[in-house]
Amino acid sequence: MLLVTGGAGFIGSNVVAALNDAGRSDVVVCDFLGTEGKWRNLAKRQLVDIVPPAELLDWLNGRKLDAVIHLGAISATTATDGDLVFETNFRLSMRLLDWCTANAVPLIYASSAATYGDGEAGFDDDASLGALKKLRPMNLYGWSKHLFDLTVAERVARGEKLPPQWAGLKFFNVFGPNEYHKGSMMSVLARRFDDVRAGRAVQLFKSHREGIADGDQRRDFIYVDDVVRVIMWLLATPSVSGLFNVGTGKARSFRDLMLAAYAALGARPNIEYIDMPEQIRNSYQYFTQSEVDRLCRAGYNGGFTTLEDAVKAYVGDYLDRPDRFR
């Protein structure tokens, strides 16, 4: 069997879909379904079980798994409950790392571009302890992911035992189907698509930094299909371990993202700019751009979808249809 933590979530449910498409129905999801309709992310999938996170360690006892794909986390960059985030994002990850190590099970886990903080130290996925210790995450979520990366790196540096394959993936700005339960953490495209389609003005943030135009804050936007391809490649390539950026390597502006949505619908752009909320101004990233050389040198050659092609696929296959779910 394969275990996907966070498998009812955004990236996780897309991974489950890819596993099913590849002929794997022996998939177990660890997640909360809640009351907000997150089950719809899995409504078209075949599963063995859905295990609540609180029961995971008991469930693992005596199990034999082909791999653990650990994507479950509190991923909101605005999260403020330090104890809950630490328990969920770090301590559970540590338990899974120890279990995978003891049972010789591959572990592929989600890190985050949020570990890079404001980007002042660059976006190089150097997994050495020295390089990682220079990073300064700007929010609780990024810190919790960074702390786990540091722990893995320290075990590597000390030559301690690890799972037969381990891979940490620093996801950049992922967007695509099944992100609808994420509320304010959805991509701007998903949040604003109904406005685009209805002809209403789409609101983007003004810039509060000299030299950067309104709407020109830039992110490395990556379509979820590309992320899933990387994960599936790792599952098929057990000789590869390491910490890898997962982005396109090309920063694009939020304005570019929304213009691509208008183009996908053949609609006239209508964008207005609003002040950024005070509470996020000091922790807002104005630029992220992954360096993907290490992933490519490790053998990945699946390529990355251009922003315009990704938006066109997302709009045409999901957002502009009655059923938006994969």
Q: Residues with catalytic annotation?
A: 141, 182
43 is in an annotated binding site: no
Q: Are 208 and 251 in contact (CB under 8 A)?
A: no
| Residues paired with residue 273 on neighbouring β-strands, in sequence order | 204
142 is in an annotated binding site: no
284 is in an annotated binding site: yes
Both structure tokens of 31: 């997640």
Q: Are 118 and 139 in contact (CB under 8 A)?
A: no
Sign (positive or negative) of CA dihedral 261, 174, 246, 121? positive
Q: Which of 72-96 are b and which e, b meaning 16 or more Cβ less than 10 Å from the residue's Cβ?
A: bbebebebeeeeebbebbbebbeeb
128 is in an annotated binding site: no
173 is in an annotated binding site: yes
Q: Are 10 and 186 in contact (CB under 8 A)?
A: no
Q: Nearest-CA neighbor of 107 among 158, 65, 54, 61? A: 65
The region that residue 59 occupies, defined by phi over 0 for left and psi between -120 and 50 for alpha, beta otherwise, is alpha
Q: Which of 244-268 are b and which e, b meaning 16 or more Cβ less than 10 Å from the residue's Cβ?
A: bbbbbbebbbbbbbbbbbbebbeee
Query: Secondary structure of the chain: what % helix, strand, coil (to 5)?
Result: 40, 15, 40
Q: Are 20 and 4 in contact (CB under 8 A)?
A: no
90 is in an annotated binding site: no
71 is in an annotated binding site: yes
170 is in an annotated binding site: no
Q: Residue holding tokens 């075949």?
A: 46
42 is in an annotated binding site: no
187 is in an annotated binding site: no
Q: Nearest-CA neighbor of 4 among 51, 38, 39, 44? A: 51
89 is in an annotated binding site: no
310 is in an annotated binding site: no
254 is in an annotated binding site: no
| Residues paired with residue 30 on neighbouring β-strands, in sequence order | 5, 51
64 is in an annotated binding site: no
38 is in an annotated binding site: yes
11 is in an annotated binding site: yes
133 is in an annotated binding site: no
271 is in an annotated binding site: no
Residues annotated within the binding site are: 10-11, 31-32, 38, 71-75, 145, 173-174, 182, 184, 205-208, 219, 284
Residues annotated within the binding site for substrate are: 173, 184, 205-208, 219, 284
Residues annotated within the binding site for NADP(+) are: 10-11, 31-32, 38, 71-75, 145, 174, 182
